[in-house]
Structure 1
Amino acid sequence: MEKTSKCKVCVTGGAGYMGSWLVNKLLEKGYTVHATLRNLDDRCKVDLLKSFNGADSRLVLFEADIYDPDTFDPAIQGCDFVFHVATPLLHTQGYQFNNTTEATIAAAKSIAMSCVRSGTVRRLIYTGTVVSASPLMEDGSGFKDSIDETCWTPLNLSFAYSDSFLRSYAESKTLTEREILSYGTDANGTGGLEVISLDAGLVGGDTLQLYTPSSVVVLISQLTNNEDMYQKLRYLEELLGKVPVVHIDDICEAQIFCMEQPSINGRFLCASNYVSSAEIASYYQQHFPEFHVKQEYLDGPNREIKWGVTKLVEKGFEYKYDKKMILDDCIKCARRHGDLQQ
């Protein structure tokens, strides 16, 4: 691996929860970063990124939009590595795409082709989600014994606690991940680009943004009694058997770890803990009794599915944050932003 001062990387969706944390880490480690935003006139997001140490000399911002996929090309040119983090959560009308799935697949194709054409990009690291890795049987009759990288979410099934937004998100992320992996080197090592898909669990911890991220709001939903966000937590549990969780710092370190390996490609799930919603509620009840956790939150399902994911750890990656640290940091974050009053 060459010295980081000579290495240029691109981060799509640079002002998001994960994107901003990743950009900050990369700058701290000495990389030059090309970061994309949908709107360079959004002063709040631009100012956040420009406030990072090293941003004045090693951060270049580009305007690019998933719904206009060719706009990512200038940001990618001249880079050694590309982190594709950006993903639309809601469909934007008025473009050539009928839904978020069409848009995200088109963007993935365009970004992958830009990487190939650049002549400089060695590896494309896509931020996927464990939502695409359900261990449910194809016929919906039950769960497999474990969840690992061989699991793919069956998109023909309906899940408890689901809604149109969650169905659209699962379809979009699953099909886009399959598409982007198709651009990678095959089993024989042929193909000009190494492609990593790093599927993140539900991300918790702190944030550099000025508000509590939605994934953190989901993780504290049993403290705020936010029914809509609790439904999303239960949806993940019904889809995945339990809820894989990962700290924001660990997932970003994992992304950089995947970049810094001499050679790596393929699909990796990334979560340090695999817990039930009832286990999360029980932790809160024990350690934060001032919030008076409802009994219904403690009565969730208790499945015996194993977390069979070892690929990333076998490569040498080490998680630093356990369940306690993730949930504690979620509470600190929410308190700081006024979303938890006690």
Structure 2
Amino acid sequence: MTTRAVEEKERVCVTGAGGYVASWLVKFLLLKGYMVHGTVRDPSDEKNAHLKKLENASENLQLFKTDLLDYEGSVPNPEARFQVDLIEPAVVGTRNVLDACLKAKAKKVVVVSSTAAVGLNPNWPKNQVMDENCWSDKEACKATEGFNSKDYRGSSVSYFTTPTDHHSRVLKTEALEYAEKGELDIVTVCPSIVIGPMLQPTINASSLLLLALLTDGHKTVEGTDRPLVDVRDVAEALLLVYEKPEAKGRYICTSYQIKMQALAHKLKSMFPNYSYSKSFTEDDYEANLSSERLQKLGWKYRPLEEILRDAVVNYEEKGILHKA
């Protein structure tokens, strides 16, 4: 990955800049000398205060009030928004971001999706590794409910969030239409469940996975095989595909596949005094995702023990967990 001189001040945009993955992306961009324009709903909100404390933020970070459902960036009537269908804003938001990229003549768009756009394919051969050629089935996405990390979408480098697997598939289709027309240079990264330390003050959805294992000793947990990846490794993957001219198409971003019971045992061996889940359901599902294509581009990921240690220590420092 090339290091860019601070004086070049190459400008990138990160939408939803105060989010979990976005905050780490902003941090790494600032450390590499980029001029970062971050879009948030309210720059003065305390939820975004952590961004202003990042290294180089005072010189190279500007936050802008923006609503992705409005191309001009104004905020729609909250009551009207409440009544809008879930899929429509996802599609409209995607188009607005990509239209803005076209207007700004963005040199590259990084779309941050999720493995929800990959792994829900009942027709994929059972024992075949799921690679970038695998696409989730639209009907399966509509029918599936349950835990999944929030999906992310992006642009130059910028992205926004949506909450469902079906959104992930729909929004990916929107981005592909632009790519196929040759209007934008679009690269897509599909992270699995994202864990690791948080920069933002509020708890994000995927962090609840570890917190549940650490604190829900009286509850039964699904014993599902989960594909995991560290939030910092995701942010570094986004930088990698942005900076590598040869990066094209779609990249799965996942590091480990582990049963929840095995993950609980590993956490307990490192932090023995928390109230761990003791009961796990049986589940024969096995995640079968490959990040080989991303690794060939130069991506590396952290050891699982480092990810878990840094996450738990981070939760303790934030007061989410109390040291035993």
TM-score (norm 1): 0.78
Matches of 1:306 and 1:125, distance apart in 2: 24
Amino acid at match of 2:139: N
- In the alignment, structure 1 residue 151 sits paired with structure 2 residue 134: yes
Q: 1:63 to 1:294 in 2, by over 3 A?
A: closer
Q: 1:311 to 1:70 in 2, by over 3 A?
A: farther
- How many residues align? The count is 304
Q: Do 2:218 and 2:277's aligned partners in 1 also have CA atoms closer than 8 Å?
A: no
Q: Name the SS for the 1:206 alignment partner.
A: coil
> For residues 58-73 of structure 1, what are the structure 2 equivalents within 5 Å?
58-71=60-73
Matches of 2:218 and 2:116, distance apart in 1: 20
- Report the structure, 1 or 2, having the larger helix content: 1
Matches of 2:167 and 2:72, distance apart in 1: 19
Q: Do 1:181 and 1:196's aligned partners in 2 also have CA atoms closer than 8 Å?
A: no
Q: Do 1:129 and 1:201's aligned partners in 2 also have CA atoms closer than 8 Å?
A: yes
- Distance apart, 1:160 and its partner CA: 6.9
Amino acid at match of 1:61: L
**Who is 2:267 aligned against?**
284
**Who is 2:166 aligned against?**
171
Q: Do 2:116 and 2:136's aligned partners in 1 also have CA atoms closer than 8 Å?
A: yes
Amino acid at match of 2:37: H
Q: Do 2:255 and 2:291's aligned partners in 1 also have CA atoms closer than 8 Å?
A: no
Matches of 1:160 and 1:172, distance apart in 2: 12
- Distance apart, 1:226 and its partner CA: 8.2
Q: Do 2:217 and 2:278's aligned partners in 1 also have CA atoms closer than 8 Å?
A: no
- Distance apart, 1:103 and its partner CA: 0.8
Amino acid at match of 1:306: N
Q: Structure 1 stretches of 5 or more lacking a match?
A: 73-91
Matches of 2:263 and 2:93, distance apart in 1: 36
Matches of 1:300 and 1:183, distance apart in 2: 43
Q: 1:268 to 1:135 in 2, by over 3 A?
A: same
- Distance apart, 1:17 and its partner CA: 1.4
Residue by residue over 1:206-234, the C-alpha shift from the partner in whole angstroms, topping out at 9 and shown as x without a partner, is 12222443321222311111899x87xx4
- Distance apart, 1:203 and its partner CA: 1.3
**Who is 1:12 aligned against?**
15
* Bigger RCO of structures 1 and 2 (CA < 8 A, at least 6 apart): 2
Q: Do 2:189 and 2:238's aligned partners in 1 also have CA atoms closer than 8 Å?
A: yes
Pick from 238, 245, 255 the counterpart of residue 262 of structure 1: 245
Matches of 2:99 and 2:73, distance apart in 1: 12
**Who is 1:315 aligned against?**
297
Amino acid at match of 2:91: I
Matches of 1:226 and 1:211, distance apart in 2: 23
- In the alignment, structure 1 residue 221 sits paired with structure 2 residue 212: yes
Q: Do 2:229 and 2:255's aligned partners in 1 also have CA atoms closer than 8 Å?
A: yes
**Who is 2:38 aligned against?**
35
Q: Do 2:69 and 2:96's aligned partners in 1 also have CA atoms closer than 8 Å?
A: no
Matches of 2:213 and 2:172, distance apart in 1: 31
Matches of 1:318 and 1:195, distance apart in 2: 22
Q: Do 1:205 and 1:330's aligned partners in 2 also have CA atoms closer than 8 Å?
A: yes
- Distance apart, 1:290 and its partner CA: 2.0
- Distance apart, 1:107 and its partner CA: 1.4
Q: Name the SS for the 1:214 alignment partner.
A: coil
Residue by residue over 1:270-314, the C-alpha shift from the partner in whole angstroms, topping out at 9 and shown as x without a partner, is 1111222222122123333322533323x5435555333311111
Matches of 1:147 and 1:135, distance apart in 2: 10
Matches of 1:16 and 1:168, distance apart in 2: 13
Q: Name the SS for the 2:234 alignment partner.
A: helix
**Who is 2:89 aligned against?**
103
TM-score (norm 2): 0.82
- In the alignment, structure 1 residue 274 sits paired with structure 2 residue 257: yes
Q: Structure 2 stretches of 5 or more lacking a match?
A: 152-161
